Structure 1
Amino acid sequence: MSREFVRRRLGRRLGCVVGMEDLKIKVEKLAVRAINNRARSKIKKQVEEPLNLLFYGPPGTGKTMFARLLAGCLYDVGILKEEKVVEIQRDNVVAQYVGESEKKMKKRIEDAAGGMMFIDEAYSLFKGKSTKDFGVDIINTLMHYLNGDSMRDTPVFVLAGYKAEMEKLLSANEGLLRRFREPWIFKPYTSQTLKQIVSKKLLKQGFHFESDLDSDIISVIDSVPSRVRSQLNAGLCGRIVDYIKDSIDERVCDPSDITELFLVKKVDICNVKEKLSVYMESVTHESLNTD
């Protein structure tokens, strides 16, 4: 399987993603390394390299979406046997009674066999070694499977969350860090990228613009305070799209007028800025606390 073939196969999925160019390169490198290592192992036994990954970044930066995309990419080039992602958080596996957490975690890992397990907000599994918390049992169970020889078709594990909190999680077990590749960093989206996401969402739903409204959309995005953007990131795009559709619904009197029903005008973008302003006034400081 040549590198050019791998690039073409991956490009079918990666090409649909707005931005994230550095992460797309990492996907290709990861796939090529895994394929080459498999070829090397047929000639001479190789030291096992983990495919398990750490995703560092704030909410709304595409970590879950990218994990699903990555699973599809790895399946396309034959690294994963199945195109599936089992997604979990702390509440899905931490139980109230001794022994139950391990059973829940084991079941989820077995469900992910041949594919990928994605643990969002993975840092929440670890509350501290001094606490009577069953999250430690989850980490110990995870360690058992991270060795790669504990079951057939061990899934690729992806742990995601804030950088500082994730580093605390990795300190919970001395062997945890070395079972993962170097972290992949998910950066907050730029205004330009957020604008592209908004446009792509609208076009996918059949809407079109009466003129070039790129600068107007960027102006709306830039009007959002940084503390709000840091929490919403790509989530802001969904809100903007909803407000644009609200404006169109308020403007169009006849639903049989298909042209107007799918036409985004400058006035709709202006209305979004007003609606966002009202929304931000209603948001409490507590709900956007980044501490």
Structure 2
Amino acid sequence: MILEKKMDDLEHELSKIVGLEELKLQLRKLAKGLLMDEKRRDMGLNLGRRKAPHMTFLGNPGTGKTTVARVLGKLLHSVGVLSSNKVIEVQRSDLVSNHIGETALKTRKKIAEAMGGVLFVDEAYRLAKGESKDWGVEALEEIMSVLEDDNLVVIFAGYTEPMKRVFSANEGFCRRVTNFFQFDDFTCNDLAEMLLLKMNKQDDKSRLNGFKLHPSCTFDAVSQVIEKNSYEKLRNKMNGGLVDHMLNNARENLDSRQCAVK
């Protein structure tokens, strides 16, 4: 029953993620393996501990990499891999200093903050610029040095092509980081589904809280509007950000129309 409850919780979290069906299958597979290990230990079996599943997320901005990282934090905590569900998100500026010796200190501080949870390194390719005097590689090496720790999972994220610099900057990268996930760009249908989900699940802090879509804004209608009013290159560049842009524009246009009413 506990196993089923945890899988149900995972499915609930995955239901919030639009598209990425292949990725969801891999996450379910990972979850089932971890949960079965937990069940076997409860039965008294002395199992060896799995290595922390460090990962690389490849894809354009707005494709859900940060959202999936947060789901993973909850999953890995619920099955006992991590002692916390926290996800610490960092970029180059959080890790690298222009002063000698400070990059290692900044990076270690963030590692210590993330210990017990997930360290999510966004735009990780910026740590491997390929310049001889750049301190980014030092930050990368500091992170690589703690990948054997059982109570930390590191997720590196970034564009597919530039991330190849990270793979080559440290010869042990692909040996220690063995889970690679590709985040594809969203289709018009994906973006329409995302927009409808956002409008149906507004929280108190949302700028659109209290507003509803007109009944004419069906799934098909929204998808057609997106396809007609944006080109593929823009959609691939913005992905989920396009939905936020559309909703903000809708709110501003509504305000303008209502102000014009006498």
Q: TM-score, normalised on structure 1?
A: 0.78
The 1-side partners of 2:197 and 2:248 are apart by: 14
How many residues end up aligned between the 2 structures? 250
Q: Is 1:135 the equivalent of 2:141?
A: no
Tell me which of 214, 222, 231 is aligned to 2:219. Answer: 214
Distance in 1 of aligned mates of 2:250 and 2:160: 34
Matched with 1:176 is 173
Specify the alignment match of 1:111 in structure 2. 113
CA distance in 1, matches of 2:137, 2:250: 46
Q: Which residue of 2 aligns with 1:13?
A: 13
Q: Say which SS state the counterpart of residue 127 (structure 1) adopts.
A: coil
**Separation (CA, whole Å) in 1 of partners of 2:62 and 2:120:** 16
Deviation at 1:5, TM superposition (A): 3.6
**Partner residue in 1 for 2:123:** 121
Map of 2:245 onto structure 1: 239
Query: What does residue 227 of structure 1 align with?
Result: 233
Correspondence for 1:251 among 244, 252, 257: 257
CA–CA distance in structure 1, aligned partners of residues 238 and 105 of structure 2: 35
> Is the contact made by 1:126 and 1:172 (CA closer than 8 Å) also made in structure 2?
yes
Correspondence list, 1:245-284, <5 A: 245-253=251-259
* Shift of residue 83, structure 1, vs aligned partner: 1.7
- 1 or 2 for the larger relative contact order (CA 8 Å, sep ≥6)? 2
Q: Deviations over 1:238-266 (max 9, x none)?
A: 011111112222223599xxxxxxxxxxx
1: CA distance between counterparts of 2:219 and 2:196?
9
Deviation sequence 1:207-253 (CA, Å, 0-9, x none): 13233533332222113122211110110000111111122222235
Corresponding residue of 1:73 = 75
* Structure of greater Rg: 1
Which amino acid is the alignment partner of residue 71 of structure 2? L
Q: 2:189 aligns with which of 188, 192, 201?
A: 192
The code of the aligned residue for 1:90 comes to R
Aligned position for 2:206 = none
Q: Deviations over 1:105-131 (max 9, x none)?
A: 111011011111000000110122x51
**Contact 1:40 / 1:46 at 8 angstroms: preserved in 2?**
no
**2-side partners of 1:254 and 1:46: how far apart?**
69
Aligned-pair identity (%): 34
| Alignment partner, residue 88 of structure 1 | 90
Q: Which runs of 5+ in 1 are unaligned?
A: 256-291
In 1, Cα distance between equivalents of 2:84 and 2:27? 17
Instruction: Give the partner amino acid of 2:58.
Output: Y
Please give the per-residue CA displacement for 1:80-113, whole angstroms capped at 9, x wherever unaligned. Answer: 2112111100111111122211111111011011
Counterpart pick for 2:151 among 151, 154, 157: 154
Q: 8 Å contact 1:195–1:214 — kept in the other structure?
A: yes
Rounded Cα–Cα distance in structure 2 between residues aligned with 1:97 and 1:211: 58
1:62·1:186 contact (CA, 8 Å) conserved in 2? yes
Q: Secondary structure at the match of 2:179?
A: coil
Q: Is the 8 A contact 1:57 1:187 kept in 2?
A: yes
Q: Deviations over 1:12-54 (max 9, x none)?
A: 3222222222222222222222344456687456374341111
